[in-house]
Amino acid sequence: MTIARKGLILAVFQCLLAMSIYGKLLYDRASCSRVWVKTARWDPNLPLRGRYLSLRLTPEPNSGWYQQTNGARVAFFVPGHVLSFEKSLAGREAPELWAEVTIPRKGPPRPIRLAIKKARRMELLDVR
């Protein structure tokens, strides 16, 4: 077997592996519960590269998903440039930041999108 053929087999295997993870996450998003949960900022010590918002989920005590989300820590990855809403999250007058999360059967919640709650209305954030 030539080196080129071995490389091609390895590349196909890696693509299949990545697509299987993508498929699992897509299936979980379609079949598992999706809920909005209030978040609190959290300062992690993670050796990850790139920009992300570190969030601790703080659900209402009487919510049906309290056990799965209470105190869970999630990382929401954002683009390299500073986003407009990030400046408003600092300080005492910061608006409430909410995250829509998927609650899988096993494992931690997975964040999908963010919103700011203003006057009892959720304003979705454009995180691109």
> Is residue 45 located within the same domain as residue 67?
yes
Amino acid, res. 114: L
> Is residue 44 located within the same domain as residue 20?
no
Q: What is the mean pLDDT of each run of 10 residues along the chain (128 residues)?
A: 93 97 91 91 66 87 88 85 69 80 90 87 84
Per the structure, how many domains does the chain have?
2
Q: What angle do CA 52, 111, 49 make, to 5 degrees?
A: 25
Q: What is the distance between the alpha carbons of residues 36 and 58, in angstroms, rounded to a whole number?
A: 10
> Is residue 87 located within the same domain as residue 64?
yes
Q: What is the distance between the alpha carbons of residues 83 and 88, in angstroms, rounded to a whole number?
A: 10
> Is residue 17 located within the same domain as residue 42?
no
Domain that holds residue 3: 1-31
> Is residue 59 located within the same domain as residue 15?
no
What pLDDT, on a 0 to 100 scale, did the predictor assign at position 15?
A: 97
What pLDDT, on a 0 to 100 scale, did the predictor assign at position 91?
A: 65
> Is residue 78 located within the same domain as residue 101?
yes
Structure tokens at 2: 């030539």
**Global confidence as pTM:** 0.75
